Structure 1
C-alpha cells in the first residue's frame, strides 16, 4: 500500500461537526430577528440550503448567490422580506462559536500531523472557516487552508484542485489523498483531479457506480490503518 505525504481534509462534517454548529447558530439568528424557529421553519431552511449547495457544486450558482438567497428564500416562504446577505453574515458569525468535533477528529490530527503535510480543502466562506479552525485549535496543525471563496472555484471543480496543487511545495499527486464526507464534492472532485480519495461515510450511502472512492470509512479512527499500511482495510479496486 502506498505511502502518502499530502493529506487534504474537508472541514465540515469531516473534522468539525457542522450540525452541532448549526444547532447553535440557527436559534440565535432567528431569536435575534424575533422569528420563531419552529420545526417547520427549520425543515424549510434545510431543504432550501441543501438544494442551493447542490446547485453550487454543480456550478449552477455562485457562492455569493447561495449566501444571498438561502435566508431570503426561507423567510419569503413564510411571507417575510429580509436582507438575505446580512442574515447570512450574521449566521456565519454564530457558526464560529461552536467547538464540537466529529468523533476522534482532533486526536487524529494531533497524532498524524508530525508525519504528514496537512491541508484543508473546503467550500464556503474563508473568514468563517479560518475562525472556526482557530477557535477549535486545529489551525496550527495545517500547512494551509484552501477555501472556495479564495480559489474562485469550488469542489468538485478541477480548477479548485489545480489551484490547491499549484500552491503545495513539491506536490506529488501519487502521494496525495483527500478525506471528506461529501461524495459529490470530495470523492468526485478528488477522483477527477487524479488523487486518491477516502470517503467518510458513517451512514453508508451508495456511491455512484462509475466513480468509486479509493477507501470508505465509517469513522475517522479507521483512517489510521490506511495510513499505516495495515491490511485491515483493503484498497478498493472496483467493487465494495
Structure 2
C-alpha cells in the first residue's frame, strides 16, 4: 500500500498525544495531599502497576468500566491493609486527573503539520469528562474533526464495535485509507488489527512487542509519522 493513501488518522490520546504518566503522577500526588497520606515512589509504582492491570482487564472485557473506576482505590488501599471509600477517592482523583494536559513532545507540531492534508480524529478509552477537558485545555482539540470516546460510544478499544461506530460516523470512511496511531499494543494496535486497519505503534521507550498484535509501522518520535502519511 502506498503511504500516500492514508487520509484518515485515528489518534489515541494517553501517552500518544498527552503525557498520561505525568498527569497520573500529578493527580495521585494531589489526591494523597488531600488525604494527608504520604506518597512514596514505591506507593506510586504500586498504584501505576495496579491501574495498568485493571485497564488491561477492562480492554479484555473481564471487568466493567464501573468496576475499574469504583473499585481500584479499594483494591489499592486493601493492599496496605486499609479500607477506604474507593468510589469517593476515584471521583476526587479523576477531578485532579482532568487538570493534567502536558503534551508529548511535538504533539501540537505534528497535528498542525497534518491538519490541512488529513482528517484527524481522537479514538480513546479514557473517561469522557476527563478526556474532553484535557484535550480542550491542551489546545489539541482544535485540530480534530471529531472525538470518539469509549464511554460515549458504549464500546471500547480493541472491540470491533468501537471501530464500527467510528466507521459509521466518518463520511466515506475507507479502511484502506485509515491509520490508527497509538502507544498501546493491547488496545490501539490489537483493535486496528482485529478491524483490518493499518496501525502505527508509538514506542518512544523501545518496549519489546510480546503480544499477538503486530503494528504496520513503529516509531519512537511523533514527527516520524509524517514520513509515513505524507
TM-score by length of 2: 0.94
Instruction: Indicate which of 62, 73, 76 corresponds to 2:75.
Output: 73
- Provide the rounded CA distance (Å) in 2 between the counterparts of 1:47 and 1:23: 12
Instruction: Indicate which of 87, 105, 110 corresponds to 1:108.
Output: 110
Contact 1:10 1:122 in 2 (8 A): yes
Contact 1:63 1:124 in 2 (8 A): no
Give the secondary structure class of the aligned counterpart of 1:199.
Answer: strand
How has the CA–CA distance of structure 1 residues 107 and 192 changed in structure 2, closer, same or farther, with 3 Å as cutoff? same
Contact 1:6 1:116 in 2 (8 A): yes
How has the CA–CA distance of structure 1 residues 213 and 69 changed in structure 2, closer, same or farther, with 3 Å as cutoff? same
How has the CA–CA distance of structure 1 residues 35 and 140 changed in structure 2, closer, same or farther, with 3 Å as cutoff? same
Instruction: Indicate which of 31, 36, 39 corresponds to 2:38.
Output: 36
State the Cα distance separating 1:210 from its structure 2 match: 5.0
Structure 1 stretches lacking a partner, 5+ long: 229-240
**1:197 aligns to what?**
199
Instruction: Give the aligned CA root-mean-square deviation in angstroms.
Output: 1.4
State the Cα distance separating 1:213 from its structure 2 match: 0.9
State the Cα distance separating 1:209 from its structure 2 match: 7.3
- Provide the rounded CA distance (Å) in 2 between the counterparts of 1:90 and 1:209: 34
Contact 1:118 1:143 in 2 (8 A): yes
Structure 2 stretches lacking a partner, 5+ long: none
**1:233 aligns to what?**
none
TM-score by length of 1: 0.91
Matches within 5 A, 1:60-209: 60-208=62-210
CA deviations over 1:149-201 (Å, ceiling 9, x no partner): 11212111111111111111111111100000001111110011111100001
